Amino acid sequence: MNKSEMLFAEAVEHIPGGVNSPVRAFGSVGETPRFIASAKGAYMTDTDGQTYLDFVGSWGPMILGHNHPKVLADVLEACREGLSFGAATEREVEMAELICSIVPSIEMVRMVNSGTEAVMSAIRAARGFTGRNKIIKFAGCYHGHSDAMLVKAGSGVMTAGIPDSAGVPAGCTQDTLTAVYNDLDSVQAIFDQFKGEVAAVIVEPVAANMGVVLPKKGFLQGLRRLCNENGSLLIFDEVITGFRLSLSGAQGYFDIEPDLTTFGKIIGGGMPVGAYGGRKDVMKLIAPSGPVYQAGTLSGNPVAMAAGLAQLKLLQETPEFYEELNHKADVFFEGMQEAVRAAGKPWVVNHIGSLGSIFFTDGPVTNYAEAKTSDTAKFGEYFSYMIQNGIYLAPSQFEAMFLSAAMTEDELEKTLDIFKAYLGQR
């Protein structure tokens, strides 16, 4: 037994499934989780001293690579000043101003501690503003683990093949209506059925929790139009796409203004952070300025703000950052697709910006039903081959590959070679 295997054997005794978040388990790919000891730049090292090129990036936050020296320095400085005050700080003002200056649709923003909290709170704000209860979401999209959102969710829930979660009372999901991603008619049909009852449509503007699924041309614009026509709010869940597809996220990339936006991951630079924000007339309803209650002991934590501010400023101060990263990623993902073609396989590589996924099915993959046709046993074989060759991928078919700016063209080229070797063996 190596150290990771020993740690896992101990972990399952005291932590459910041996992990603190289901996506970290390697069960669906028939492996034991690697226990990570440290990470730097594009690499992570496990407790057995094995080093991996990391395509997970802590599930999104580490867009600059691990332990960027500037982020680390600012975090250490903040730590010296105090870990938490439970009182207002200058960094929170700076963070709010920075987000509002970067993302045009955001006039006011509230910091929370996770993407789950951000979504839960944005939905409460939308319900408070409209006086309506129903929410439209899309099958295969994941919006965190709050009760109302665990309906046909993507991510770990999808991998486990569980459409809902035990412990969620039917009453909590009765107002959650599910439409088909990329199918405006399915959204229209819900609006027709529940006239005047829909508070908001929430969507991942690029779905990244059923594997990466791109919005078809006109889909997001169509949602904007339907929301306008029906007096409902449009919520973009940019927990993954925010500050990743472009500095102003998917909304900047596709040039669409949602009413509310949720963030997480990159905005915290690796610390536990989320945020929600948008139109002032909606956000003003949040307590203490309005009647929609939402709070948090550690919200706006000074160390987390220092990490997030450092990362966001680095992204903002490098004008060519996204062009370079997205170009590098395009070359890589196109290389994967080309290798698949050359091997005579029908498999599909969906990608946009620094996000991508391979589906072991003959495509296209444009929604949850199509994503589910991927051969997950084949994914398991691919995953095992890659990790044995030093490539750390998300241990699930239904997650994204996250590229970071720390990865060199050389490293991506080597990854392609390993992928080609995998294809040659099949």
- Interface residues with ligand PLP (CB under 6 A) are 59, 114-116, 119, 142-144, 204, 209, 237, 239-240, 264, 274
Residue 266 Cβ vs ligand PLP, minimum distance, rounded to whole Å: 11
- Residue nearest ligand PLP by beta-carbon distance: 115
Cβ proximity to ligand PLP, 243 vs 422, nearer residue: 243
Distance spanning both ends of the chain, measured CA to CA: 29
Q: Is 265 a catalytic residue?
A: yes
Cβ proximity to ligand PLP, 59 vs 398, nearer residue: 59
Are 396 and 372 in contact by the 8 Å Cβ rule? The answer is: no
Residue with tokens 């990244």: 208
Cβ proximity to ligand PLP, 34 vs 143, nearer residue: 143
Cβ proximity to ligand PLP, 205 vs 335, nearer residue: 205
Residue 64 Cβ vs ligand PLP, minimum distance, rounded to whole Å: 18
Cβ proximity to ligand PLP, 141 vs 340, nearer residue: 141
Q: Is 237 a catalytic residue?
A: yes
Residue 241 Cβ vs ligand PLP, minimum distance, rounded to whole Å: 8
Q: Is 313 a catalytic residue?
A: no
Catalytic residue, chosen from 43, 52, 142, 181, is: 142
Catalytic residue, chosen from 237, 368, 392, 422, is: 237
Catalytic residue, chosen from 137, 152, 265, 328, is: 265
Residue 218 contacts by C-beta under 8 Å, 6 or more apart in sequence?
A: 184
Cβ proximity to ligand PLP, 57 vs 335, nearer residue: 57
Residue 195 Cβ vs ligand PLP, minimum distance, rounded to whole Å: 28
- Using CB atoms within 10 A of its CB, is residue 229 exposed (0-12), middle (13-18) or buried (19+)? exposed
Residue 400 Cβ vs ligand PLP, minimum distance, rounded to whole Å: 9
Residues with catalytic roles? 142, 237, 265
